[in-house]
Amino acid sequence: MTTSDHVVAVLTVEAAPAARQRSRWRLVLPVGLLAVPMLAFLTYFFFYPALILLLSSIQTQDSRGIIGRPFTLAHYARLINVELYARVLWTTLRISIITSALATVLAYPVALVMVKSRPIVTRIITLIVIAPLIVSVVVRGYGWQLVLQNGPKGMLNWILMTLHIIDAPISVLYTEVAVVIGSLHVFFPMMVLPLASALGKIDPNLEDAARMLGAPWWKVFLRVTLPLSMPGFVAGFTLVFSLTAGSFVIPAILGGASAIMLGNLIEQQIFVVYDWPFGAAIAVVLVGLVLAVNGVSMWLLEGRRLRRPE
């Protein structure tokens, strides 16, 4: 090899990383530009209003309705210290947790059947689970109102009395039970679909090996299926909890004055009482509650991944 050929080879080797670097920048730059419209949209329509909401929650509203200084945390203290508002907060937590827990218990059998059945059965069950999503939440709320109506004319009471299960009508409508039933019906698909996706990724040989070693079905579920489906469970539980905690229509239709949730309280404070700072404080607490549940869920999943043996 001549001296000139050696110089050309060295320059080619040195230029190769630079060429790859320029190619990588050319690839990354357009991909980054694709996210600019969405970032601008979220900044203007989400982050900016959220910042205004946060600032409004620590400001004071005068007799003319003008919001400004002085800054105060009295609105948050009012939510905790006033018994009526504290009861609404605990009612929201209770209904959200109960709905999420019931959705989990009911969704596991449905998801297991969806995953382990024949394709035709899987399609039918998937259609049954997804079909309610095409119906408005308002329509479903009023449908449950007719079913749970208090008195002998309610469908549930009529069936129970016809079958001689009860002697007198029971009061279900305008209670927390009615809100749980309605929320469970509305948000049930959000639990089934993530669970079915997680269960579908489990190797069937693992469950077969556990059965061959003599484990009963319930131990196979607790020791094999449940731990491996944890990502779907956490995702579904978080979705159902978040959507239930922030729901407005179902509590308004089925809960009445006995099962008011934070979403209804925000609407009352802003559109009825016109107390914008207090309504903003309630909204911030609701968003913080949902973010806390999501954060705990992500922490649990991340900790599980870190503990998983390589």
Q: What is the mean pLDDT of each run of 10 residues along the chain (310 residues)?
A: 48 49 54 79 87 88 79 88 91 94 93 89 88 87 89 86 86 91 93 91 86 86 87 91 92 88 90 88 90 84 58
- DSSP track, the chain: --HHHHHHHHHHHHHHHHHHHHHHHHHHHHHHHHTHHHHHHHIIIIIHHHHHHHHHHTSEE-TTS-EESSP--HHHHHHHHSHHHHHHHHHHHHHHHHHHHHHHHHHHHHHHHHHHS-HHHHHHHHHHHHGGGGS-HHHHHHHHHHHS-SSTTSHHHHHHHHTTS-SS----TTSHHHHHHHHHHHHTHHHHHHHHHHHHTS-HHHHHHHHHTT--HHHHIIIIIHHHTHHHHHHHHHHHHHHHHT--HHIIIIITTTS--HHHHHHHHHHTS--HHHHHHHHHHHHHHHHHHHHHHHHHHHHHHHHS--
pTM for the model stands at 0.82
The CATH number that domain 82-307 falls under is 1.10.3720.10
What pLDDT sits at residue 22?
52
What pLDDT sits at residue 26?
53
Q: Sketch the domain layout of the chain as residue ranges.
A: 1-34, 37-72, 82-307
What pLDDT sits at residue 7?
41
